[in-house]
Chain A
Amino acid sequence: MLTTRLKVQVPPDEIDLDAPLFGTGLGLDSVDAVELVVAIEAELKVRMPEGQVGPWAFRTVHSLVDYVVTARQAGSA
């Protein structure tokens, strides 16, 4: 998703889980954040309502994966 939809210019096997998503990490910006939410909701079927997702979720690839996995588990419980 990061390399195909958001065009992150890093080979997938060099994207570390704990890499920051924004700024000088993977270089995403606020426009990418919107695209990321749209992509996650469409492809992973996880709702990310504005104001209900803590800002921590967008810090790193790992925190975002953790949010998605937890949300999917909660949804299937």
Chain B
Amino acid sequence: MTAPGHRALREAAAYLRHDRSGPSVDVLWLRGDGARDAVLRLLSSRLLLRDGQAQQSLLLRDDGTILADVTVCADDESYLLVIERGPLGRDALLQHLAARLDGLDDVALEDAAPTHEVISLHGPFAWELVAEVLGQDLVALPYLNFFRMDEGLVLRAGKTGEFGYDLLVRRELADGLVTRIAEAGAAFDAVEIDAGTLSAARFEGWFFDPSIDYPAIEGLGPVTPIELQLQWRLSQREHVGRAALLSRRAALSERPELARKLACVVLSATPEDDVLRLDGAPVGALVRKATSPASGLVFGAALLRADLAHAGLVLDAAGARAKVVAPPLLDNRSLYVDARRHAYRTRDEIAFGAPSRLSAPEAP
């Protein structure tokens, strides 16, 4: 039976106060004439942003590994960084940023935590609840754009495959806003969720999660965005971690047999250990396992030999089989919802897809 919080997130709307139940989100502004130079140095992705737009990016360490997941917003002449740092301590994050900004002129790092709180909303009808509470103009807010409002700022940037919004709210107004969300949310069967529910939804939706601890690859070193299939968040310009990534690519061109990719596998059952084999030889390992709340499938994230990370391949696990699939684990309802024609109260008229197109492999 699906938990109420997950059902709300996948079928209606759900909300989360990050201060009360992580994941840890930090919001920082980079201000000053040097702000653009600062984000170009700190962040890994191409940055083609107009005012009001946002983009997914990464904060990398000098060794090319991922320090934090970032959504960067172009806020007039400043940049707003919404940072998910996983297990990394807040002080360590701030020290990393300060050290990499050293030597740049006219840039100030401003922490929003003392003045603002992050509240997020997720679900196929989250857009309708946001519009009900904060204004009908928000129905038209495109993905990866933000809108300034009296209470703070609303950013559309989902990480579950459903409509998703991060509200950056002035602290003195946060309690009142949550009350309004709960009151208006009653008509949407909205539920307040915790970090665990969001994490499970994020994993089955196959969105990058900085809280996962990836083991180093033997003969190669620690896992970078290259192995995590996040090269679309890398640019060709100089940035923190770029030299290490170039070295990694050079090493892989010399020894391609060491290449690994993070792949999604559906399992016939929870295996007795994490090793995946092909014809008896180890070819990878599971780094996280779960049961998808939406589909009921047992699945995992596996670091696999790169040449095997293709949908359809079936591997052996201890007491189980593992089939490589193209994620996500579910067919998100948000893909079928059109804000111009649909509403939660008439949701029965929408022809949603099946919960999942995937199936488990046969047991050994």
Does B229 lie within 8 Å of A55, measured CB to CB? Answer: no
Q: Determine the distance from Cα of A26 to Cα of B232 in the docked complex, in whole angstroms.
A: 7
B residues less than 8 Å from A16 (CB atoms): 229-232, 261
Q: Which of A18, A26, A59, A69 contacts B229 (CB 8 A)?
A: A18
Which residues of A (47-77) have their CB < 8 Å from a CB of B? Answer: 54-56, 59-60, 62-63, 65-66, 69
Q: A residues within 8 A CB of B310?
A: 17, 62, 65
Bound-state Cα–Cα, A66 to B230, Å: 19
A69 to B312, CA, bound (A): 9
**Contacts of A8-44 to chain B: CB distance below 8 A:** 10, 14-20, 23-26
Which chain A positions have C-beta within 8 A of B234?
Answer: 14
B19 shortest CB reach to chain A, Å: 28
Q: Would you call A24 and B55 a contact (CB within 8 A)?
A: yes
A19-B311 in contact (CB<8A)? no
**Which residues of chain A are within 8 angstroms of B332 by Cβ–Cβ distance?**
56
Q: Which residues of B contact A69 (CB under 8 A)?
A: 311-312
Contacts of B276 in A (CB 8 A): none
Interface centre among A10, A60, A66 (most CB of B within 10 A): A66
Q: State how many angstroms separate the Cβ of A68 from the closest Cβ of chain B.
A: 11
Once bound together, how far apart are the Cα atoms of A15 and B56, in whole Å? 17
If A23-B143, A63-B326 touch, whether A14 touches B335 (CB-CB below 8 Å) is no
**Minimum CB–CB distance for B261 against chain A, Å:** 7
Rounded to whole angstroms, the CA-CA distance of A55 and B331 in the bound complex is 8
Contacting residue for B357 out of A15, A56, A62, A65, CB 8 A: A56
Q: Mostly helix, strand, loop or mixed at chain B's interface?
A: loop
Checking A19, A56, A65 against B331 with a beta-carbon cut-off of 8 angstroms, the contacting residue is A56
The smallest beta-carbon distance between B354 and chain A, in angstroms, is 9
The answer to the question of B327 belonging to the interface, with a C-beta cut-off of 8 Å to chain A, is yes
Contacts of B336 in A (CB 8 A): 55
Contact of A56 among B45, B229, B335 (CB under 8 A): B335
Measured between beta carbons, the chain A residues less than 8 angstroms from B232 are 10, 15-16, 19-20, 24-26
B112 within 8 A of A: no
Least CB distance, A58 to chain B, in whole angstroms: 9
Asked if B309 and A17 sit within 8 Å, CB to CB, the answer is: yes
Q: Evaluate contact between A24 and B45: CB separation under 8 angstroms.
A: yes
State A60–B328 Cα separation when bound (angstroms). Answer: 10
Q: Are B357 and A54 in contact (CB under 8 A)?
A: yes
Q: A16-B261, A55-B335 are in contact. Are A62 and B353 (CB under 8 A)?
A: no
Residues of B within 8 A of A10 (CB): 231-232
B144 contacts A24, CB within 8 Å? Answer: yes
B206 within 8 A of A: yes
Chain B residues with Cβ below 8 Å from A65 are 310-311, 326
Task: Specify which chain A residues have a CB less than 8 angstroms from the CB of B328 in the assembled complex.
Answer: 56, 59
B45 partner residues in chain A, CB cutoff 8 A = 24
- Check A24–B331 contact: CB distance below 8 A: no
Query: 10 nearest interchain CB pairs?
Result: A16-B229, A62-B326, A55-B335, A66-B326, A18-B229, A19-B232, A66-B311, A63-B326, A14-B231, A25-B232
Binding site for A on B (CB under 8 A): 45, 55-56, 143-144, 206, 229-232, 234, 261-262, 264, 309-312, 325-328, 331-332, 335-336, 353, 357
Q: A16-B230, A16-B261 are in contact. List 18 more A-B contacts (CB 8 A).
A: A10-B231, A14-B234, A16-B232, A18-B206, A18-B229, A18-B262, A18-B326, A18-B327, A19-B231, A20-B232, A24-B144, A55-B335, A55-B353, A56-B335, A60-B327, A65-B311, A66-B325, A66-B326
29 contacts between A and B (CB under 8 A): A16-B230, A16-B232, A16-B261, A17-B309, A18-B229, A18-B262, A18-B326, A19-B231, A24-B56, A24-B232, A26-B232, A54-B353, A54-B357, A55-B331, A55-B335, A55-B336, A55-B353, A56-B353, A56-B357, A62-B310, A62-B311, A62-B327, A63-B327, A65-B310, A65-B311, A66-B311, A66-B312, A66-B326, A69-B312
